[in-house]
Structure 1
Amino acid sequence: MSTPYPIPVTPTKTRVGWIGIGVMGSAMASRLLSAGYSLAVYARNPSKSLSLQSQGACIADSPLELACSSDVVFTMLGHPRDVRSIVLEKNGVLSGLNPNCVTIDMTSSHPALAREIFAAAREKNCWTVDAPVSGGDIGARDGKLAILAGGDRGVVEWLSPLFEILGKTTYLGPAGSGQSCKIGNQILVGANLIGLSEGLVFAERAGLDKRQFLDAVRGGAAGSMVMELFGERAIERDFRPGGFAEYMVKDLGMGVDVVEEGDDDRVDMVRIDGSGRKRWDVIKGFGGMVKLHVD
């Protein structure tokens, strides 16, 4: 059986494909399997798929093969270049996707690429949704991700039985809107992480009890989800990695690119001086070396 759009999505009939089984992708795919969906997986490193295979997932030899046998294909990759390769290039997802089937990119990627993929899919009478997520590995495991969706509203609503297993979906607008929202999200998260770290350091050096400090401020304007997720971990010096710092650097860099490359003339920024790009290049240069260790 198959359920291309707009035939309703159901665990017994809808065929799901998944590409990208890192820390978050594997947890998300596992939730779909647990909900009863038939899942095919493609991994460039087949050994990474063994856990999902033990839960009942089938293994595809290529993105093309996976797409040919799927009604809905999820991608959860590291970088926009990976998305372009897996989705758009020869033997990619769009080469095999059947009419009215849907590919969902949950990678934190570039808004312009999301619009390019949407246009290419419509030429084939297929659909795409850009749906990056926020919530980290814990949200992925617990099904509490914030899903930021861009694309056709009807298609996003059609996908709700799948999205509800993974988290809460907000529809932002046409193709690329989900990715633009994720960039804005990362700006906020980065600023909150810096603020939380500096606030705790100040409190400690001022002689305050750090837990009492957090309890005092979390109910006011300083309170945030970042504080709830990472405040206690910071106090306990629990610095187990939940993701690669290079991905945050990548996400913030895309925000700079959107503005400086004129990708979206609706976005502009205040320029204090001409050194913004130079400063960002220095930060980006350290991205591959940072391992989320805080001392």
Structure 2
Amino acid sequence: MASPYPKAINPSQTRIGWIGTGIMGAPMASRLLVAGYSLTVYNRTLEKALPLQSQGARVVTSPIEVARHSDVVFTIVGNSRDVNQVTLDPSGVLPGLNSGGVVVDMTTSHPALAREIFAAARAKGCWSVDAPVSGADTGAREGKLAIFAGGDGDVVAWLKPLFDIMGKATYMGEAGCGQSCKFANQITGGAVLVGLSEGLVFAEQAGLDLNKFLDAVRGGAAGSKLMELVGEKMIRKDYRPTGYAEYLVKDLGMALDTLEETDEQRTVVVPGAALTKQLYCAMVANGDAKIGIHGVKTVIERINGK
């Protein structure tokens, strides 16, 4: 199988569907429009899709209608339940997708659901790819997302012209592997933000100038992409979301649940991820579910009486 279609992807003949126009989905879809692709768009809250309509997208009222006008449908919604609904429900994408069509789920969702969607797609002669992303809203706007792709390798390669508009896709393996990679990414990134938060709180308590602290360490082994993206924002207490705290709780929860479901020979113990989840749960309990994930610094400050 070289590709789902005999023709290569290009703006003049490949019809794109897009479901989900939130903090990540809207700029990602916008980049495809700017690249010349025609888009059919659905969002549960219609108003959030109107900016894309002003750029030339067709806005419709159901996922199945998106599928009927598309060769490739991208979904990026809230959680696994939403993915299941927009993809597998009678009014979802797969019932409306023509044979040979492709659904690409870019939501952070459960690997088992990705495998279920892949099997359902193949049963009707279609394909699915799980392709969650990392890079926050900045990466979405600039087309610099890291994309973790699972499914059929030839289909992922065929989709490369579209992925390249949004960032860089890495093929991780069979269906579900993209989601597993995203979980590992979230475990790593969450721990980095906790460490950065503790470093900033410690440095402040020690009387250091926090901007000088960042400048001093950013070029060393403790430096990171996350430090560059949000370090100065954390100093300014600018916690506007690039990704919601409640979503990281969801992601880490799914990751830990997945570990519990694996067979005994593959069990992994990740105590740092469990602690990171607890700290982000504290953010949600403090009423900060909708602020940025870098706001975990507020939890460390509260623990220290600030």
Q: Please, what TM-score do these two structures have when normalized by structure 2?
A: 0.88
Match of 1:73 in 2: 73
Match of 1:216 in 2: 216
Percent same amino acid at aligned positions?
60
The answer to whether 1:62 aligns with 2:62 is: yes
Q: Which amino acid aligns with 1:95?
A: P
- For 1:135-166, what per-residue CA distance to the aligned partner results, in whole angstroms no more than 9, with x for missing partners? 01111111111011111111111001111110
Tell me, in whole angstroms, the C-alpha distance in 2 between the residues paired with 1:284 and 1:209. 30
Match of 1:246 in 2: 246
Change (3 A) 1:196 1:282: closer
Residue 220 of structure 1 deviates from its aligned partner by 2.1
Mean alpha-carbon deviation: is it higher for 3-12 or for 213-222? 3-12
Tell me, in whole angstroms, the C-alpha distance in 2 between the residues paired with 1:45 and 1:271. 37
Tell me, in whole angstroms, the C-alpha distance in 2 between the residues paired with 1:265 and 1:8. 43
Match of 1:202 in 2: 202
Q: Which amino acid aligns with 1:106?
A: M
Q: Which amino acid aligns with 2:129?
A: V
Match of 1:225 in 2: 225
Match of 2:28 in 1: 28
Change (3 A) 1:193 1:281: closer
| 1:23 match: secondary structure | coil
Mean alpha-carbon deviation: is it higher for 160-169 or for 60-69? 60-69
| 2:104 match: secondary structure | strand
Residue 280 of structure 1 deviates from its aligned partner by 6.3
Q: Which amino acid aligns with 2:84?
A: R
| 1:117 match: secondary structure | helix
Paired residues of 1:100 and 1:125 also in contact (CA < 8 A): yes
Match of 1:270 in 2: 269
- For 1:46-68, what per-residue CA distance to the aligned partner results, in whole angstroms no more than 9, with x for missing partners? 22111111110011221111101
Paired residues of 1:104 and 1:131 also in contact (CA < 8 A): yes
Question: Which structure 2 residues correspond to residues 119-158 of structure 1 after superposition, within 5 A?
Answer: 119-158=119-158
Match of 1:42 in 2: 42
| 1:183 match: secondary structure | helix
| 2:192 match: secondary structure | helix
Tell me, in whole angstroms, the C-alpha distance in 1 between the residues paired with 2:280 and 2:222. 26
| 1:103 match: secondary structure | strand
Residue 219 of structure 1 deviates from its aligned partner by 2.1
Paired residues of 2:245 and 2:280 also in contact (CA < 8 A): no
Q: Which amino acid aligns with 2:118?
A: F
Match of 1:83 in 2: 83
- For 1:6-57, what per-residue CA distance to the aligned partner results, in whole angstroms no more than 9, with x for missing partners? 4200011100000001111011111100000000001222221111111100
Question: Which structure 2 residues correspond to residues 160-179 of structure 1 after superposition, within 5 A?
Answer: 160-179=160-179
Change (3 A) 1:31 1:106: same
Q: Which amino acid aligns with 2:200?
A: L
Q: Which amino acid aligns with 2:268?
A: M
Total equivalences in the alignment: 288
Tell me, in whole angstroms, the C-alpha distance in 1 between the residues paired with 2:241 and 2:7. 41
Tell me, in whole angstroms, the C-alpha distance in 1 between the residues paired with 2:44 and 2:134. 24
Residue 214 of structure 1 deviates from its aligned partner by 1.7
Paired residues of 1:103 and 1:128 also in contact (CA < 8 A): yes
- For 1:242-265, what per-residue CA distance to the aligned partner results, in whole angstroms no more than 9, with x for missing partners? 232110000000011101123x66
Change (3 A) 1:140 1:271: closer
| 2:24 match: secondary structure | helix
Paired residues of 1:143 and 1:165 also in contact (CA < 8 A): yes
Tell me, in whole angstroms, the C-alpha distance in 2 between the residues paired with 1:122 and 1:153. 14
Mean alpha-carbon deviation: is it higher for 230-239 or for 104-113? 230-239
- For 1:96-118, what per-residue CA distance to the aligned partner results, in whole angstroms no more than 9, with x for missing partners? 11111100000000001001100
Give 5+ residue unaligned stretches, structure 2.
302-306
Paired residues of 1:4 and 1:99 also in contact (CA < 8 A): no
Residue 222 of structure 1 deviates from its aligned partner by 0.9
- Considering only aligned residues, what root-mean-square deviation do their CA atoms show, in Å? 2.2
Change (3 A) 1:253 1:38: same
Change (3 A) 1:166 1:109: same
Tell me, in whole angstroms, the C-alpha distance in 2 between the residues paired with 1:259 and 1:163. 29
Q: Which amino acid aligns with 2:181?
A: C
Q: Please, what TM-score do these two structures have when normalized by structure 1?
A: 0.91
Give 5+ residue unaligned stretches, structure 1.
none
